Structure 1
Amino acid sequence: MTTTTTPPPPRLASADVYRGFVMLLMMAEVLRFHKISEALPESGFWRFLAHHQEHVEWVGCSLHDLIQPSFSFLVGVVLPYSIASRLKQETNFWKVFRHALWRSLILILLGIFLRSQWATQTKFTFEDTLTQIGLGYPFLFLLGFRSFRTQMIALGVILAGYWLAFALYPLPDAQFDYNTAGAIKDWEHNLTGFAAHWNKNTNLAWAFDRWFLNLFPREKPFLYNGGGYATLSFIPTLGTMLIGLIAGNILKSDRESREKLKLFLILGVSGVVLGTLLNWSGICPNVKRIWTPTWVIFSGGWCFLLLSFFFWSVDILQKRKWFFFLTVIGMNSIAAYVIAHTVDSYISDSLKIHLGQNYASILGDAYQSLIHGGLILLFEWLILKWMYDKKLFIRI
């Protein structure tokens, strides 16, 4: 990881704004909309916001569920620009590839470091955003040098192969002890029939982690992930990054801007519709937590639609000033990610020390999390703004 005192190479403005939007959604978790909704149970407005600030239990999608696929998608979007920039500085491919491997390793280690905070020892886990991207990045980098046809074949192999691997994994038998897997036999979100191959902690990815994660030092043996998340999700996450790579190649092409926008909209709507149909058919459910192939297609569609909006607003209409708040975050996304996972608790404690334990009740107890979280978010943005003004950009 390096800190530069000069601006990075020319960037795709819409990608920075889109990334800033995604990081803002993550940072805004400090607003704790669910607490306001619980305090005001009759309010449909706060119930709606609370729903979209949390992950769905299993099948389906909320706005919050689109954070990780968007971040992964954008890694692919900017890769053609990154490759072009690196090749201008270094003509030796293997040196450039070694840099990609180094970037991958830093992402993995940073993810593990952040997950290990407040633990008694290193917490080896590989399902968070940074480690998932890090595990797939070398393969994405290599595919960035291949033809569109090869990239599409790779995407097809990833989706079909991952689907088949889950489909062939045997379902729990009558003697299966669901408690040992942190699962509930009659859980309301369990799928039935063929789709049961993608149920929580009774699937192929869970079985893999029961073996893989126990290879690392642990306080106690790994039995299951409480949320159902899995290491192997980096494989379909690579599919999401590949979709982003396709979008990035379109952006970097000589097509007219309006043609690019039209293509993004077509691909976006097609992905959402196809993903919805695959989920309804029972062929493959739409589950973000284990990143099913249907989720790759469905969330990829939404990523195209979001990119369409920001590309149209920022790059076509040239309304960059409207999105300055998001640009500040998006141009320092790694710093924003680390700040949101480290500094927020320090800011929270400091506010209560200096303003009083009950200062956030100024608008009533129901809105305490909104006032307190809003101030935390403001201070985090001001840190990023200071870095932006000083041209301090953390890059991996």
Structure 2
Amino acid sequence: MFLMMAEVLHLAGVAASLPESRLWETLGRHQSHVEWIGCSLHDLIQPSFSFLVGVSLPFSIASRLARGQSRRRLLLHALWRAAVLIALGIFLRSIGDSRTDYTFEDTLTQIGLGYPFLFLLGFRPQRERWIAVAVLLVGTWVAFVLYPAPGPDFDYASVGVPPDWPHLMQGFESHWNKNSNLAWAFDRWFLNLFPRDKPFLYNRGGYATISFVPTLATMTLGLIGGEVLKSGRSARGKVAWLLAAGAISMALGWGLGELHLCPIVKRIWTPSWVLFSGGWCFLFLGAAFGVIDGFGWKAWVFPLTVIGMNSIAAYLMSWLFEGFIGDALTRHLGAEPFRVLGEPYEPLLHGAAVLAVMWALLFWMDRRRLYLKI
């Protein structure tokens, strides 16, 4: 959530103003999504969010069962939560449009579509969860392979992809080319079932609705990790398991990409992306658990805890409040205070001020125990 809110720092903009700086080029690259194949730090935000939904589920289920809630009530709540997440994602994506934008690639919508299935897996043993991950990944891979790859005469320009785009793949990997794959074909049918100002032809970023299927695999990996944290293993055993799972998962995802069996593409959530990003998520979780719970070093993480305790509020702020706060700061303070380090750094300082205000609002909510929950 912090990385998502920190988009307001506009590091890529600073990097563009300082092209000679390798430091700013690196920072800007890792605050931007890769165009298609590969991974940046920014690309790990959505899988981390999805992964942590799975991590929290065993604790949520145990807490509600301890309060005497029935499984039927828990299921109804899970269905309600899924519906709210889907609706909220559509609402946020429709901001600024003249009518509802029925699109389902938003992080909240993707989580909502898979959440009921994740909930049911929450009552199954670990072995069945691993099987579910395997079925989801293999099934997604096979489905993409069976869909015809774009031929040499495919009109990429008609789907918003320049014919000379450097990220177009050849041969077997072309099954996962932008806006010419199974996910794109599904949306050409599915999204046109909803009222639209004009027919849906393609998503400019290549994102797709059915990415929720492999996203469910990411959430299930989190569910498995959450069960490990909840287990009676020693703290050292938990850290070792998570780090080992992370290394193995990352290696598998990387290997699939290197062998040209399945490219690592976040935008359509390829199986190799699930494994590669899931490996990072296991490593992050293991490292955080070891440092915070194992060694007890908790004070440094307080600013992040304020954000994490109100993750839905933080998500909404980044969508709804960022522009309002930014305009207000400029209106009342002017631009000069943000140019004190020079014009290249103006968006950075302005964004830092916006980020500070949003954090202060979350801190105020935390002090008063006001948490947005679904």
TM-score under structure 1 length normalisation: 0.93
Q: Output the CA distance in 2 between the equivalents of 1:241 and 1:394.
A: 21
Q: Which amino acid is 1:104 matched to?
A: A
Residue 46 (structure 2) aligned to one of 68, 72, 77: 68
2:248 is equivalent to residue 270 of structure 1: yes
Contact 1:90 1:96 in 2 (8 A): no
Displacement of 1:182 after TM fit? Answer: 1.4
Distance 1:39 1:185 in 2: 30
Number of residue-to-residue matches in the alignment: 374
Deviation string 1:79-123 (CA, Å, 9 cap, x unpaired) is 000111121234421111000000000101111111111111111
Mark the runs of 5 or more structure 2 residues left unpaired by the alignment: none
- The residue number in structure 1 matching 2:129 is 151
SS of 1:157's equivalent in the other structure is helix
The percent of aligned pairs where both chains have the same amino acid is 57
Q: Is the 8 A contact 1:136 1:238 kept in 2?
A: yes
Question: Counterpart in 2 of 1:306?
Answer: 284
Deviation at 1:174, TM superposition (A): 4.3
The one-letter code of the counterpart of 2:166 is E
Would you say the 8 A contact 1:334–1:394 is kept in 2? yes
Match of 1:385 in 2: 363
Residue 184 of structure 1 and its aligned partner are, at CA, apart by 2.6
| CA distance in 2: counterparts of 1:30 and 1:198, whole angstroms | 31
Q: Is the 8 A contact 1:37 1:50 kept in 2?
A: yes
Aligned partners of 2:71, 2:13: CA distance in 1, in Å?
52
Q: Which residue of 1 aligns with 2:178?
A: 200
Cα distance in 2 for residues equivalent to 1:323 and 1:152: 32
Unaligned runs of 5+ in 1: 1-22
- Whole-Å separation in 1 of the counterparts to 2:115 and 2:68: 19
State the match for 2:372 in structure 1: 394
- Counterpart of 1:166 (choices 144, 165, 176) is 144
2:319 pairs with 1:360? no
> What secondary structure is seen at the aligned counterpart in 2 of 1:336?
helix
> Structure 1: how far apart are the matches of 2:162 and 2:261?
23
After TM superposition, list the pairs within 5 Å mapping 1:1-396 onto structure 2.
23-396=1-374
- Aligned-partner residue type, residue 331 of structure 2: I
Cα RMSD of the aligned pairs, angstroms, is: 0.9
Distance 1:242 1:184 in 2: 36
Tell me, yes or no, if the aligned pair for 2:150 and 2:175 is still in contact at 8 Å.
no
| Aligned AA (2:87) | L
State the shift of 1:356 in Å.
1.0
CA contact (8 A) 1:178 1:184 kept: yes
**Cα distance in 2 for residues equivalent to 1:364 and 1:174:** 50
Using the TM superposition, name which of 147-156 and 103-112 deviates more. 147-156
Instruction: Give the Cα–Cα distance (whole angstroms) in 2 for the partners of residues 257 and 58 of structure 1.
Output: 38
Q: Partners of 1:76 and 1:207 in 2: how far apart?
A: 29
| Partner Cα distance (1:117, 1:326) in 2 | 28
1:29 deviates by 0.4
- Aligned partners of 1:352 and 1:359 also within 8 Å: no
Q: Give SS of 2:372's match.
A: strand
Distance in 2 (alpha carbons) for counterparts of 1:192 and 1:90: 56
The one-letter amino acid paired with 2:85 is L
Between the aligned partners of 2:278 and 2:303, the Cα distance in structure 1 is 25
What is the Cα deviation at residue 180 of structure 1? 2.1
What CA distance in whole angstroms lies between the structure 1 residues aligned with 2:280 and 2:335?
Answer: 41
**Higher relative contact order structure (alpha carbons within 8 Å, sequence separation ≥ 6):** 1
SS of the residue aligned with 1:291?
A: coil
The residue type paired with residue 151 of structure 2 is D
Residue identity opposite 1:39 in structure 2: S
Q: Provide the rounded CA distance (Å) in 1 between the counterparts of 2:299 and 2:150.
A: 55
What do residues 256-285 of structure 1 show as CA deviations (whole Å, max 9, x unaligned)?
010010011111111111111110101111
